[in-house]
Amino acid sequence: MNKKQRSLRLLLHCEDASVPYLTPYFLKEHFSPEKKLIKDHLSLGIQLRDGSVVPTYERKVKSVRKKKKKKTSESSNDGSSDSKVLSENTKISNEKKDQGQNLFNNSKPTGYTFVGRSLPSHFCIPDGHHIISVPAFDIIDQYKFPNSKKNKKKGKLNVAIPSSTPKELILRTQNGYQKINCNLFVNVIQGLSAKYISHVALYDQATNATNNGSSNWKKKNMQSIERTKSWTDNCLEKSDSLRIWIPIVGGDDLQSRKSAMEGALSSISHSNMNENVEGIAFIGWHHIESKEIRANVLQSCLSMMKPKFNTLQSVVLATQGLEQIMEAALAGVNIIGSNLPKLLAKSSKALSLDLYGWRANSEEDKRELGKKFSLPNTSSDKHNSWKITRTDSGKHTKIESSSNCVTTMGVLDLNEKRYATDTSPLLRGCNCFSCYNGQHTRAYIHHLVNSRELLAEILLFIHNLYHILELMHELSDAIGMGKGELFYDYILKQMKI
């Protein structure tokens, strides 16, 4: 019996208040929400700590010295000179007024705060996309400083991590550490205007993601759960018509996650605004090292939603790699966050996976597909030698050979010299802007990489994003057909995990 069809979505991390590499025009033209693949499988995630921080100024107007009037016998007797003095006084008063009005803009900032800002103008995101705003994708990740000195003995970052208070969360922004409370948070998300937008409530997180068995960790973990529930209840009470995701924290401890889930369901049941709850958001799930624990956390928490809260959606804010993306999908998560397209583009890598051969993994499927698509008569263990490609209309239309696609871990490394004379596209049959009609060859992108041109990262990002969206589509189909595990194993075999 086939499982219920689910449309999986990728939550693309839009750091620094914009979609990585893409201008609003290019985003609108090539990743338009009117296209079926984008509409069904792409969501954009924005962090308040990136684009909602503005400076504050001290509202003081400096006194302007009054110029002394020199009284002369000529000025007292000459009417023309009196008119000149009057005009000068009027000019001085106007200068004072202008100076008082412009002082606010010319002063140095005394601090920073959070405000709600327009998405099209400040986040460079055209209207029409499905958007989820978060305080941060992960609080622990924001404390990772790539340039910080490491403690060689303990292997830890030599930086001080500020702790939140019961009333305020501390976020690391481009302007240093800033505090945000529930009242300010609600005001900020109310100022984010978009057609399809929802918001993850304010949450706290223990600075250590894994349970080290110490009483200190357990204490901090319980504090984060209690603060998150308190802040969530406050957000639900004060947000009138906003769509809210309830965060679930607890690290890698299953009982802590269940406790957080029970508190979340209790908040939904007792809240007058339960119709505004969009779903459940799992925080810090990607930090869990054990694959078995990761699966148990999601399956146990999601099972608690049945049957009363079965209509609620679920989102994992961050993942590490394609394996975790597929794990979350198989566990029942609807929306899965990742910045993998950007990470691969920065390392000059392009995804090159066969996403469609799983459909002919069995002899029965192969015979059915052979009748429909005229597949070559080859054994099932050699299905990597052919590839079905899908057009934007959603139909599988043609078969391409992938024998020349030499990959390692499912990716092409465009730094390698063997691509210097390779005139083939990144992936044959791919319909993304970078691959379509072979207009950007591997040799060309290899040249851009060696020349350190930004265009190389742009083209690779476009391809990787499109490829992952195709993966989400195929995985949705596989789960709907009851063959999610088959697709998972098929992709992992290509990645050689």
pLDDT exceeds 80 at position 76: no
Domains (range + CATH), the chain:
9-52+112-338 (3.20.20.105), 349-495 (no CATH)
pLDDT exceeds 50 at position 287: yes
Pairing assessment for the beta strands 277-282 and 313-316 based on DSSP bridges = parallel
Q: Who contacts 17 (Cβ-Cβ below 8 Å, separation ≥6)?
A: 46, 47, 50, 51, 122, 123, 124
Instruction: Give the confidence band of 381 by pLDDT, cuts at 50, 70, 90.
Output: very low
Instruction: Give the confidence band of 194 by pLDDT, cuts at 50, 70, 90.
Output: confident
Question: Tell me, what's the pLDDT at 5?
Answer: 60
pLDDT exceeds 60 at position 435: yes
Which residue(s) pair with 130 in the sheet? Answer: 43, 196
Question: Tell me, what's the pLDDT at 379?
Answer: 34
Which residue(s) pair with 396 in the sheet? Answer: 390
pLDDT exceeds 80 at position 494: yes
Phi, psi (rounded to 5 degrees) for 368: -65, -45
Of residues 5 and 127, which shows the higher confidence score?
127
Structure tokens at 63: 């006194």
Of residues 320 and 408, which shows the higher confidence score?
320
Q: Are 357 and 387 in contact (CB under 8 A)?
A: yes
Q: Who contacts 370 (Cβ-Cβ below 8 Å, separation ≥6)?
A: 360, 377
pTM: 0.81
pLDDT exceeds 80 at position 299: yes
User: 222, 226, 301: which is closest to 261 by C-alpha?
Assistant: 301
Calculate the alpha carbon distances from 140 to 159, 174, 280, 282 in Å.
13, 16, 20, 14
| For residues 356-366, average pLDDT | 69
Instruction: Give the confidence band of 310 by pLDDT, cuts at 50, 70, 90.
Output: confident
Question: Tell me, what's the pLDDT at 4?
Answer: 52
Instruction: Give the confidence band of 375 by pLDDT, cuts at 50, 70, 90.
Output: very low
pLDDT exceeds 80 at position 30: yes
pLDDT, mean over the chain: 79
User: DSSP string spanning 163-223?
Assistant: PP-SSEEEEEETTEEEEEEHHHHHHHHHH---SEEEEEPP----S--S--S-HHHHHHHHH
In the three-class reduction of DSSP (H, G, I as helix; E, B as strand; rest coil), residue 408 is classed as strand
Q: Are 389 and 466 in contact (CB under 8 A)?
A: no
Please state, for a pLDDT cut of 70, what percent of the chain lies above it: 73
Structure tokens at 450: 């060696």
Chain segment 203-227, per-residue pLDDT in tens: 998 866 666 667 787 888 899 999 9
Question: Tell me, what's the pLDDT at 285?
Answer: 94
User: 328, 326, 324, 241: which is closest to 281 by C-alpha?
Assistant: 328
